[in-house]
């Protein structure tokens, strides 16, 4: 009887650990956020056009014991390359293309409409967001600052314009440049309140608290013109 109770307790502990792990917020590289900077100069560089069918921006907001991931489509953009290295570029993100990964009536009728409302993205007023590269430098991982992105080879800085705010964001990225195209991946965290999205960011709300930290994953592809 004692053995059965012990096994049951172990099972419950493992179950609780699994649930907590599944509901824990994803962790990306810590992005450095500063004031808006001048765009990178790319005159004379080779230009690649964004592959809008295969490029996306994934976000994950999180609260107490829950995550809400979704994706935006890239509606247009370009990448500049010189000597087989990334030098600049910009992308436009379609806010109304938001596609939540979770399914259900609550997601479709409450969560998604609320995220598109003025408390968050205010999509009716600000239908797009933009990321414009300002600087690209080689990335070297140290023992204490290794990127969560395997094979990261660049540090990319760019102006992220969201709603009515533009901030410069710096993060590691893995960028592969070939003769026919460019493929870039990144995974980093930003503080949404810096873009005038402070709704729910009050720990006195208890289990209704929404973290200011949002995880961003980029998967951007561009093809040779």
Contact of 79 with 67, CB cutoff 8 Å? no
Residue 128 is encoded by which pair of tokens?
Answer: 């797009």
List the chain domain ranges: 27-224
- The residue behind tokens 């409302």 is 117
Work out the pLDDT band at 12, boundaries 50, 70, 90.
very low
Share of the chain above pLDDT 90, in %: 75
Name the residue among 216, 217, 210 with its Cα closest to residue 62: 210
- The residue behind tokens 């290295």 is 85
Using CA atoms of 106, 112, 113, 115 in order, give the dihedral in degrees to the nearest 10. 130
Residue 115 φ then ψ, to 5°:
-65, -30
Give per-residue pLDDT as tens, 84-97.
Answer: 999 999 999 999 99
Give per-residue pLDDT as tens, 134-175.
Answer: 999 999 887 677 999 999 999 999 999 999 999 999 999 999
CA angle 225, 134, 199 (to 5 degrees): 110
- Res. 10: pLDDT tops 70: no
Distance separating alpha carbons of residues 220 and 50, to the nearest angstrom: 7
Share of the chain above pLDDT 70, in %: 88
Contact of 33 with 194, CB cutoff 8 Å? yes
Q: What is the 3-state secondary structure (H, E, C) of the chain?
A: CHHHHHHHHHHHHHHHHHHHHHHCCCCCEECEEEECCCCCCCCCCEEEEECCCCCEEEEEEEECCEEEEEEEEEEEEEEEEECCEEEEEEEEEEEEEEEECCCCHHHHHHHHHHHHCCCCCCCCCCCEEEEEEEEEEECCCCCCCCCCCCCCCEEEEEEEEECCEEEEEEEEEEEEECCCEEEEEEEEEEEHHHHCCCCCCCHHHHHHCECCEEEEEEEEEEEEC
Which has more confidence, 20 or 6?
Answer: 6
CATH number of 27-224: 2.40.128.110
Give per-residue pLDDT as tens, 102-138.
Answer: 999 999 999 999 999 999 999 999 999 999 999 999 9
Whole-structure pTM value: 0.86
């Amino acid at each position: 009887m004692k053995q059965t109770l012990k096994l049951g307790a172990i099972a419950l502990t493992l179950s609780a650990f699994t649930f907590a792990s599944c509901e824990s917020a994803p962790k990306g590289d810590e992005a450095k956020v500063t004031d808006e900077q001048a765009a990178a100069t790319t005159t004379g560089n080779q230009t690649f056009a964004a592959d809008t069918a295969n490029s996306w921006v994934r976000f994950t907001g999180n609260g107490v014991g829950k995550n809400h991931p979704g994706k935006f489509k890239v509606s247009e953009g370009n990448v500049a390359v010189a000597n087989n290295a990334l030098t600049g570029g910009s992308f436009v993100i379609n806010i109304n293309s938001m596609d939540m990964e979770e399914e259900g009536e609550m997601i479709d009728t409450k969560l998604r409409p609320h995220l598109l409302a003025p408390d968050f993205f205010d999509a009716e007023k600000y239908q797009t967001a933009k990321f414009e590269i300002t600087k690209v430098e080689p990335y070297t991982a140290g023992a204490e600052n290794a990127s969560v992105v395997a094979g990261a080879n660049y540090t990319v800085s760019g102006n992220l314009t969201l709603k009515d705010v533009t901030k410069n964001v710096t993060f590691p990225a893995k960028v592969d440049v070939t003769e026919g195209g460019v493929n870039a991946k990144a995974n980093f965290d930003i503080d949404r309140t810096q873009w005038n999205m402070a709704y729910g960011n009050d720990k006195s709300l208890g289990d209704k608290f929404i973290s200011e930290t949002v995880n961003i994953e980029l998967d951007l592809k561009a093809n040779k013109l």
